[in-house]
């Protein structure tokens, strides 16, 4: 029979709104976190990263917040645009060298015009 | 600039056949990664190379999978024999940056094993 796949959580927003995508990470020893964006039919694309000695980092229209106490990461997108529609993944480096990234299951962002 | 180039983009094969996926990393990048993406398991690291040397292959599912990097501009991921559960999108990524998670992914090879 057909296997059950991951049900991606979906965030639906209107164009111009701010979006907040959340991620809970697993390993308290993780020291480095990254957000990736994946558009349909394409490979993941790096957005922004943050190290564990920081709790906030800003990029162009994006901000990443890190709360190590509760092992939570969020990506804020300001003035969301239809082109932001994609699946967003957080990834953590579980302290074994940067190459060993563990990706989360992803959140689908749908932006309506 | 050319990004990471993968081929084929789509492959449909029958169970038991050999499959070879190819990757050309971005010129100058010294680290190369193979990932597999499925609905069930998400994005998984299979193997990565640094300066053409395999560093960690603990993510390779089983002996049917093998990866090589004969030079800095080419890598292959081979599945022999293929099985239906190998159906997935296989991504290659590269980077020249140490101590960063900024990987540059190709567009993937979608494999369907019937």
Report the first-to-last Cα separation within chain B, whole angstroms. 36
Q: List chain A residues with CB under 8 Å of B36.
A: none
The pair phi, psi for residue A75, each rounded to 5°, is: -120, 120
Asked if B33's CB is within 8 angstroms of A43's CB, the reply is no
The residue among A83, A101, A81 whose CA lies nearest residue A92 is: A101
CA angle A110, B106, A25 (to 5 degrees): 55
Interface size, chain A vs chain B, as Cβ–Cβ contacts under 8 Å = 61
Asked if A91's CB is within 8 angstroms of B101's CB, the reply is yes
The residue among B91, B50, B55 whose CA lies nearest residue B72 is: B50
The residue among A58, A53, A28, A36 whose CA lies nearest residue B43 is: A36
Contact A91, B101 (CB under 8 A): yes
Burial of A31 from C-beta contacts in 10 A (0-12 / 13-18 / 19+): middle
pLDDT score of A1: 35
Mutant choice from A43, A44, A52 vs B, greatest count of B C-beta within 10 A: A43
pLDDT score of A31: 86
Nearest by CB: A43 against B40, B44, B91? B91
Residues of A with CB under 8 A from a CB of B: 3-6, 32-34, 41-46, 49, 89, 91, 93, 98-106
pLDDT one-digit tens code per residue, B39-63: 888 999 999 999 999 998 999 988 9
pLDDT score of A85: 97
Asked if A106's CB is within 8 angstroms of B42's CB, the reply is yes
pLDDT one-digit tens code per residue, B63-79: 999 999 999 999 999 99
Q: List chain B residues with CB under 8 Å of A44.
A: 43, 91, 103, 105
pLDDT one-digit tens code per residue, B14-47: 999 999 999 999 999 999 999 999 988 899 999 9
Q: What is the mean pLDDT of each run of 10 residues along chain A (113 residues)?
A: 58 96 89 94 95 94 95 96 96 71 91 93
d(CA A23, CA A72): 6
d(CA B87, CA B91): 13
């Amino acid at each position: 029979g057909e296997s059950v796949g991951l049900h991606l959580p979906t965030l639906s927003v209107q164009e111009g709104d701010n979006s907040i995508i959340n991620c809970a990470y697993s390993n308290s020893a993780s020291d480095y976190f990254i957000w990736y964006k994946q558009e349909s039919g394409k490979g993941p694309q790096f957005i922004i990263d943050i190290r564990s000695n920081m709790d906030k980092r800003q990029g162009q229209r994006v901000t990443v917040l890190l709360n190590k106490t509760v092992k939570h990461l969020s990506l804020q997108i300001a003035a969301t645009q239809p082109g932001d529609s994609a699946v967003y993944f957080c990834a953590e480096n579980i302290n074994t060298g940067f190459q060993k990234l563990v990706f989360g299951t992803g959140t689908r962002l749908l932006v309506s015009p | 600039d050319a990004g990471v180039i993968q081929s084929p983009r789509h492959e449909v094969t029958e169970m038991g056949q050999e499959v070879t996926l190819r990757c050309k990393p971005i010129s100058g990048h010294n680290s190369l990664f193979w990932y597999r993406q499925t609905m069930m398991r998400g994005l998984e690291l299979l193997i990565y190379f640094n300066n053409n040397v395999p560093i960690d292959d603990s993510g390779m599912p089983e002996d049917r999978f093998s990866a090589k990097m004969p030079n800095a501009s080419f890598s292959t991921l081979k599945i022999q024999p293929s099985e239906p559960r190998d159906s997935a999108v296989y991504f290659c990524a590269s980077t020249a940056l140490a101590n960063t998670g900024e990987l540059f992914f190709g567009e993937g090879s979608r494999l369907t094993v019937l």
